[in-house]
Every structure is written in C-alpha cells, then in structure tokens.
C-alpha cells in the first residue's frame, strides 16, 4: 500500500477542485469516488431501473466496468468502455447518484473497487466515506466543508461555466437536500471521521485551501 490521503466532505465543498490541484502538486493519483456512484446511477437510468429494483441493480453491478483515467491532463470517466465524463455531470445524475449510493448492494460492490484502484499507488481519494469506511487507516484524513450559501454559489458558478442551466435558489435547495440525504443515510453516511482534520473553506480562495491541505499532508507524511 502506498500513501493514502482521504478527503471527504459534502457536495459543493470544493473537494473536486482542491483534490485535483493537490494531486498535481504532490504527484498523487486522484480518485474521484463520486464519479463511480454517478456511473451506477447513469447505467440504471439508461436501463430504466428504479432505486427499488434491487435484483436488477445487482445485475447491473455484476457487469459494470468503471475506469477513471487521465487523458491529456483531463480526468476521464469510462462506463463499460464509453466516455461518460460529461454525461454524469447533469442535475438528474446529481440527484440519482445520491439515491443509488444509499443502497447497501451498491456500496458493497463499489467500495472494493475503490480499494483495488488504490493498490500500489500514492493516492488522494475524495468522497463521503473514504476516511470512515473505505480507508479507515488512511495516512491523512481531511474533512472539507463550507457554508451552505458558499456551496450553492460555487455549484451555481460551476454549472454556468459548464453551460448547464442554473438557478441559485434551486441549486441551494437541491444541494441542501442532497447533503441531508448523504448525511442521514444508514450506510456509510457523510460524517467527519474522528481523526480527520476539518478545513472550512468558506472564506478561503482555492489557492489558500490547496496550500493549507498540502501543508497538513506534508506534516504527516514524507512526500
């Protein structure tokens, strides 16, 4: 096992942006675990499978192949060989991924895949349960958070930049609902690991948060 840095936090906390930058600067492999739950949701939607149809979901999980790759410096997501990098970033998938990821059978298949992806590499893995369930003995655990307004503001801006239609009030309500669902579910809920270091990014720039996290990592591991 190489070095494992776990970054958990709610939707809109900036995990994606920050882990990508930290990974580049410390030469770590960046693993976005949310993308994997998004793939499960997309595959089920494509096959017209609802969250209640557990047998059908189990069939999907048996055959699903998810690859996270870096191509020309861009993170690419392949679902059964198809490039779904943009398809998994819609609002429909935001909501569906939150629902499908609460299913025990889904987590039981995806968690081992995440552990396997980390084998023999120095990684930074971001998600909701990395420091609590996937890698409870990670070398460094960060819990990234910020105010609700800031989460919605960032996601609204990100949507507009991606050309996705966005309304601030709707985004605010949606993020709140999704984070509530992720935090209150029974299995592997979004929660700060006891030994995770809390970083509140509300009044910090991207560069400040990146440098703060790099400093925390360097204090804990020789990198």
Instruction: State CA 120 to chain mean position distance.
Output: 21
* 151 is an interface residue for ligand DC by CB under 6 A: no
Residue 154 touching ligand DC (CB under 6 A): no
Residue 97 touching ligand DC (CB under 6 A): yes
DSSP H helices, the chain, are 15-26, 33-46, 54-63, 91-100, 104-117, 148-161, 168-184, 206-220
Asked if 30 interacts with ligand DC (CB under 6 A), we say: no
Beta bridge pairs of residue 171: none
For 30, 111, 152, 206, the CA distances from 17, given in Å and listed in that order, are 11, 22, 15, 8
Residue number, 16 or 122, with CB nearest to ligand DC:
16
In the range 37-56, which residues lie near ligand DC by CB under 6 A?
37-38
Which residues fall within 8 angstroms of residue 178, CB to CB, at 6 or more apart?
11, 94, 95, 98
Contact call for residue 178 and ligand DC (CB under 6 A): yes
75 neighbors 30 (Cβ within 8 angstroms)? yes
Pairing of strands 123-127, 4-8: parallel
* Closest CB 220 distance from ligand DC, rounded Å: 21
Minimum CB distance to ligand DC smaller for 181 or for 221? 181
128 binds ligand DC (CB under 6 A): yes
| Closest separation in Å from C-beta 129 to ligand DC | 5
Min. distance of Cβ 222 from ligand DC in angstroms? 27
Residue 198 gets the label, from left (phi > 0), alpha (psi -120 to 50) or beta, of beta
Radius of gyration in angstroms for the set of CA atoms belonging to the chain, rounded to a whole number:
17
Q: Which of 129, 145, 150, 174 binds ligand DC (CB under 6 A)?
A: 129
Residue placing its CB nearer to ligand DC in the complex, 37 or 172 = 37
Would the CA dihedral through 52, 55, 58, 64 be positive or negative?
negative
Minimum gap (Å) between residue 96 Cβ and ligand DC: 9
Least Å distance, CB 169 to ligand DC, is 20
Q: Does 61 bind ligand DC (CB under 6 A)?
A: no
Task: Say whether residue 101 binds ligand DC (CB under 6 A).
Answer: yes
Nearest to 46 by CA among 79, 85, 94, 81: 79
Q: With binding defined as CB under 6 A, does residue 182 bind ligand DC?
A: yes
Residues near ligand DC, by CB under 6 A: 11, 33-34, 37-38, 97-98, 101, 127-130, 178, 182
């Amino acid at each position: 096992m190489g070095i494992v840095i776990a970054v958990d936090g709610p939707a809109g906390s900036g995990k994606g942006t920050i882990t990508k930058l930290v990974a580049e600067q410390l030469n770590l492999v960046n693993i976005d675990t949310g993308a994997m739950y998004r793939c499960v949701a997309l595959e089920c939607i494509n096959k017209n499978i609802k969250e209640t149809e557990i047998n059908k979901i189990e069939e999907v999980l048996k055959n699903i192949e998810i690859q996270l790759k870096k191509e020309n410096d861009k993170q690419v997501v392949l679902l059964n060989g198809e490039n779904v990098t943009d398809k998994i970033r819609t609002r429909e998938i935001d909501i569906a991924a939150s629902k499908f990821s609460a299913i025990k059978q889904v987590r039981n298949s995806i968690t081992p895949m995440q552990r396997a992806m980390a084998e023999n590499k120095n990684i930074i893995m971001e998600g909701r349960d990395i420091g609590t369930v996937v890698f409870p003995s990670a070398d460094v655990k960060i819990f990234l958070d910020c105010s609700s307004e800031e989460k919605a503001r960032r996601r609204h801006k990100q949507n507009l930049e991606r050309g996705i239609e966005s309304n601030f009030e709707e985004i605010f309500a949606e993020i709140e609902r999704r984070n509530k669902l992720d935090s209150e579910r029974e299995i592997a809920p979004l929660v700060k690991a006891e030994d995770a270091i809390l970083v509140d990014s509300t009044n910090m720039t991207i560069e400040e948060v990146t440098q703060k996290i790099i400093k925390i990592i360097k204090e804990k591991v020789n990198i």
